[in-house]
Amino acid sequence: MRTLQVPLFENGTVDWSKAAKAAIDSFPWHESGLKQGTEVRIALTPGRVHLRATAEDRWSGAEGRALGGAVYNDSCFEFFVTPSRERGGAYVNFEVNCVGSLHLACGPDIDHRTLATTAQAAQVEIKTSIRAAAKVPTPEDREWSVELAFPVSLLEEMTGKPADPEVWFANFYRCGGPVEPQYACWSPVEWERPAFHRPEQFGKLEIVPAK
């Protein structure tokens, strides 16, 4: 199990150079094509979570999808989190493709998930480097990035439990899109087929004061 120390910036401003850094560099289901890199940075400010993902991508592709759409079929970044000390407990999955379409849900496993309401999804701020309604993959593509920010209270609202102030369990994922799927993760997943919804295999996030 991987562990990451996530800084809490009490002054309310994230210093990205001091944010926790994680590499989505485990490819348990790789069959062919490039193993393209993805760097994630994560930090907290009082009451808020901040994420930034930068993905190498020679074939960046995405459809403009409605809330709750199948963004895992696109070039996308995903953050699954159990905001408590219960590894394997109910988790919230944030999935966003390279043009900013969001899938957001909560539940104990892949078969029992409750999709976010429009009001809940509106609490998630999303910024993407590809500013378009959709993206057709081309061989000239090189990279894309996405930033997410949302209140801790959203996690509490969706899970129905208070967030632990010190320890969460989570995983970061990457899907490569329609040309090279490239299912990759930060905390390695042992499963016979691509399976992101494995909360019992999440890594550990330790929330610590920013230095």
Q: Give CA–CA dist 150/211, Å, rounded.
A: 22
Q: Give CA–CA dist 157/128, Å, rounded.
A: 26
Q: Give CA–CA dist 151/57, Å, rounded.
A: 29
Give the pLDDT score at 48: 98
Give the pLDDT score at 54: 98
24 to 38, 48, 138, 176, 186: CA distances (angstroms): 5, 23, 23, 12, 4
- Tell which phi-psi region holds residue 5, choosing left (phi > 0), alpha (psi between -120 and 50) or beta: beta
Mean pLDDT, contiguous 10-residue spans, the chain (211 residues): 97 98 96 92 98 96 96 97 97 98 98 98 98 95 97 98 98 92 94 96 98 92
Looking at 3.40.190.10, 2.60.40.1190, 3.30.499.10, 3.40.1080.10, the CATH number of the domain 3-209 comes to 2.60.40.1190
This prediction's pTM? 0.97
User: Cα 36–98–21 angle (5° rounding)?
Assistant: 55
Q: So where are the chain's domains?
A: 3-209
User: CB–CB of 83/89 below 8 Å?
Assistant: no
The alpha carbon torsion through 168, 155, 192, 184 (nearest 10 deg) reads -80
Give the pLDDT score at 39: 98
Taking residue 96's Cβ as centre, other Cβ atoms within 10 Å add up to 25
31 to 24, 72, 180, 183: CA distances (angstroms): 17, 18, 10, 10
Give 111's contacts (C-beta < 8 A, 6+ positions apart).
none
Give the pLDDT score at 20: 98
Give the pLDDT score at 111: 97
Q: How many CA atoms lie within 13 A of 53 on its CB side?
A: 31
User: CB–CB of 7/44 below 8 Å?
Assistant: yes
2 to 129, 137, 203, 206: CA distances (angstroms): 29, 32, 5, 11
Give the pLDDT score at 31: 87
